[in-house]
Amino acid sequence: MCLLREMEDHYVHPKSKSNHGSLSGNGYEMKNPGHEVCDRDSSSESDRSHPEASAVSESSLDEHTSTQSDNDEDHGKDNQDTLKPVLSLGKEGSAFLAPKIDYNPSFAYIPYTADAYYGGVGVLTGYAPHTIVHPQQNDTTNSPVMLPAEPAEEEPIYVNAKQYHAILRRRQTRAKLEAQNKMVKGRKPYLHESRHRHAMKRARGSGGRFLNTKQQPQEQNQQYQASSGSMCSKTIGNSVISQSGPICTPSSDAAGASAASQDRGCLPSVGFRPTANFSEQGGGGSKLVVNGMQQRVSTIR
């Protein structure tokens, strides 16, 4: 009986996910029928969800089998469509993402990430639901959504309904990367010890940039590109390291062991290319790209 219930949950979720691929609002709706929760959207949208709810309520094996086969096809298509752009866009996206996250102390919300990371393990407990459920930002009370448990797991985990689809997507992305063995970790932070030390000696301003420069930031970047590759990457990496000084999470890396600093400082050798690509955006843009490239390139390789 338990196995049947788990299988039912497992069947229903690909359905909702494929719907989410087509329409985000519809994705929000599809969660509710799958978990036997009343749908509160407009009548036209609720009409769509009624057949799904009836299919789920019937709970016969034949229905589930046919539903599963249909969803498998849709699921595969949506999966292929979404995953490839994610990988390609990730480079640029991560670039824009990293500084903002670093600026704001996200320590309080790390449990959400931990939950996403350890979802399959089933170690963490569910979180209290948030007030808003629908994309229309209603004040309706939100009930936690049951996350599909891995075949080995015994109990399901309750997560925030808003993060449901994102967690499933991240699981698939992580599985794909692990299958391709692309979870590369750590890179050499700099190429030349002497140049690294010299850069560390230079005075830096409030934003982490080098002082003693009479030219504008853009011209500064042009100079970096004109010089040798290692020089350019080294400088960018060091400035990024110093930028992370006042930040809560990375500051421990900066002050911590050399291994941690290496992880944080693996930007230089990677950062040179995006700098060339985004030089038009100026100094800030380049560094945004550098920060992003670290996350994405390290995973891809």
Partner 1 sequence: MRRAVTENGKIARDARESIQECVSEFISFITSEASDKCVKERRKTINDDDIIWSLGTLGFEEYVEPLKIYLNNYQEGDIKGSKSSDQNGKK
Closer CB to partner 1, 25 or 229, in the complex:
25
Residues β-bridged to residue 138: none
Would you count residue 113 as binding partner 1 (CB under 8 A)?
Answer: yes
- Interacting span for partner 1 (CB under 8 A) from 32-40, 50-58, 60-68, 81-89: 81-89
Would you count residue 259 as binding partner 1 (CB under 8 A)?
Answer: yes
**Residue numbers 39-68 binding partner 1 by CB under 8 A:** none
**Residue 92 CB partners (closer than 8 Å, separation 6+):** 289, 292
Geometric angle at alpha carbon 34, from 14 and 39, rounded to 5°: 130
Alpha-helical (H) ranges within 59-133 are 61-103, 110-117
Quote the least distance from Cβ 66 to partner 1, whole Å.
28
Would you count residue 117 as binding partner 1 (CB under 8 A)?
Answer: yes
- Interacting span for partner 1 (CB under 8 A) from 2-10, 44-52, 144-152, 257-265: 257-265
Are 32 and 39 a contacting pair, CB within 8 Å?
yes
Number of amino acids touching partner 1 (CB under 8 A): 70
- Per-residue contact string for residues 1-20; x = within reach of partner 1 by CB under 8 A: --------------------
Are 189 and 253 a contacting pair, CB within 8 Å?
no
Q: CA 290 to CA 53: how far, in whole Å?
A: 47
Would you count residue 189 as binding partner 1 (CB under 8 A)?
Answer: no
- Exposure letters 250-273 (e unless 16+ CB within 10 A, then b): beebbeeeeeebebbbbbbbbbbb
Closer CB to partner 1, 51 or 246, in the complex:
246
Quote the least distance from Cβ 12 to partner 1, whole Å.
21
Would you count residue 169 as binding partner 1 (CB under 8 A)?
Answer: yes
Q: Which two tokens stand for residue 260?
A: 């941690």
Q: In Å, what is the CA distance from 13 to each residue of 115, 271, 285?
A: 18, 39, 39
Longest C-alpha distance within the chain, in Å?
75
Query: Cβ atoms within 10 A of the Cβ of 86, count?
Result: 15
- Interacting span for partner 1 (CB under 8 A) from 4-12, 52-60, 80-88, 222-230: 80-88
- Interacting span for partner 1 (CB under 8 A) from 31-39, 68-76, 225-233, 279-287: 279-287
Would you count residue 175 as binding partner 1 (CB under 8 A)?
Answer: no
Would you count residue 283 as binding partner 1 (CB under 8 A)?
Answer: yes
Alpha-helical (H) ranges within the chain are 2-22, 24-34, 43-58, 61-103, 110-117, 164-179, 193-201, 217-226, 229-243, 248-255, 258-264, 267-277, 282-300
Would you count residue 99 as binding partner 1 (CB under 8 A)?
Answer: yes
Residues near partner 1 (CB under 8 A): 24, 81-82, 85-86, 89-90, 92-94, 96-101, 103-107, 109-110, 112-114, 116-117, 130, 132, 135, 160, 162-163, 166-167, 169-170, 173, 203-209, 211, 213, 216-217, 220, 242, 245-246, 248-249, 251-253, 255-257, 259-260, 263, 282-284, 295, 299
